[in-house]
Amino acid sequence: MAREIRRKAMGYGAVPERLTGAAFVQEDGADTIVITDLPFTPATGGVMGYVLRADDQTIAIEGETDESGAAVITLVDDCYHVAGRVTISVYITSGDAVVQCVYCMTGSVYRSQSGSVLDSGTTVPNLSQLTTVYQECLEISQELTAATVAETKTYLGIN
């Protein structure tokens, strides 16, 4: 899967209409969301990101506050495993347990130009390799079945 999300920021509900203090940064192979101009300083461990993938699975990502007080979320590989629509939201929590959504965006995870659905570095076996592995598994299964039948007959005293 291509490690890229086409983005469109959106505002609704408790999400600020103006997201001028939010940046989507791509560096060192990682996608990071940095949100400045927060309404309050998050408590320790008070930055959480949630990525809703196209398969309706939600990936929770614990963020942090950097030295300037900005909320920082770095997306993990699980965010890219399914092609299709993705929604990312970031919440901050104060020391008084006040929770506020400070960022929300929708975008798409899409396949690379090569059509590959796997990350680089993953080797996809060809059909002959898969057939060989299947035949080996089938032989092992047949041997185990025969051994189980023989053991059962011995145990029951059936010749």
pTM equals 0.58
Rounded Cα distance, 19 and 35, in Å: 8
Residue 149 and residue 87 share a domain: no
Residue 129 and residue 71 share a domain: no
**Lowest mean pLDDT across 59-63, 100-104, 116-120, 149-153:** 116-120
pLDDT category at 140 given cuts 50, 70, 90 is: very high
pLDDT at 139: 94
Rounded Cα distance, 60 and 78, in Å: 10
Residue 148 and residue 75 share a domain: no
pLDDT category at 159 given cuts 50, 70, 90 is: low
Residue 73 and residue 22 share a domain: yes
* Structural domain of 153: 125-159
- Domain tally for the chain? 2
Whether 35 and 22 have beta carbons less than 8 Å apart is answered as yes
pLDDT in tens, 28-80: 777 888 888 888 878 777 899 999 998 999 999 999 888 888 888 998 888 88
Rounded Cα distance, 57 and 44, in Å: 26
Residue 119 lies in a domain: no
pLDDT at 14: 38
Biggest CA-to-CA distance, the chain: 82
Q: Is 60 left (phi over 0), alpha (psi -120 to 50) or beta?
A: beta
Question: What are the φ and ψ backbone dihedral angles of 99, each rounded to 5 degrees?
Answer: -110, 135
| Alpha carbon separation from 113 to 5, 61, 121 (Å, rounded) | 14, 28, 16
Q: Give the residue with greater pLDDT, 126 vs 73.
A: 73
Question: Can you list the positions of beta strands (E) in the chain?
Answer: 5-9, 22-27, 30-35, 47-52, 58-62, 64-65, 71-74, 84-93, 99-109
| pLDDT value at 144 more than 80 | yes
- All residues at 6 or more sequence positions from 34 whose CB lies less than 8 Å from its CB, including other chains: 22, 23, 25, 66, 70, 71, 72
